[in-house]
Amino acid sequence: MPGSRSWKPTPVWVHWIIYNIPGNATGLPEGIPFESTDPMPREITGATHGNNGWGLSMYRGPAPPRNSVHHYHFAVFALNTELDLPPGLTRNELLEAIDGHVIGEGHMMPIYERQPADQDTIPNNSIHGSWND
């Protein structure tokens, strides 16, 4: 992967990293655990969480300040080989590890604005975006 990718803005706040997803997986199933210590669903056995922006190996959903528009970047990479990566990698460590092995990728950048009436929990409002490859 060239270092000049426009999808690598800095600084970035990471909500979730998941990798070591089996090559025959057709998607991410429901029931993926939030915590890295819990087993992954059968369809993605071997997958693991990386460290998010809070330094935790888990998923943390979007919760921007009210009336603040945020962009969320989702990326998926297809590799030409199976890499034996340890759990808990950071975004930069993962990008470095897959450098030179990416044969396909998809990106989605939805925008989300939390409304004043939204609760102080992880929001369930609509997020708008589409995959491009």
CATH, residue 48: 3.90.280.10
Task: Give a yes or no: residue 75 inside a domain.
Answer: yes
Q: What is the DSSP letter of 43?
A: G
Digit-by-digit pLDDT tens for the chain (133 residues) are: 333 344 455 578 899 999 999 999 998 998 898 888 889 999 999 999 999 999 999 888 888 888 888 888 999 999 999 998 999 999 999 999 999 999 999 999 998 888 776 555 544 433 334 444 4
Task: Give a yes or no: residue 124 inside a domain.
Answer: no
**Cα gap 70→63, rounded to integer Å:** 9
Q: How many domains does the chain have?
A: 1
Task: Give a yes or no: residue 93 inside a domain.
Answer: yes
Global confidence as pTM: 0.75
> Residue 107 sits in which domain range?
18-113
Spatial CB neighbours of 36, under 8 Å, sequence gap ≥ 6: 48, 49, 57, 58, 87, 88
Coil vs helix vs strand at 15: coil
**Cα gap 73→14, rounded to integer Å:** 9
Task: Give a yes or no: residue 8 inside a domain.
Answer: no
Residue whose entry in the numeric block shows the structure tokens 């060239």: 2
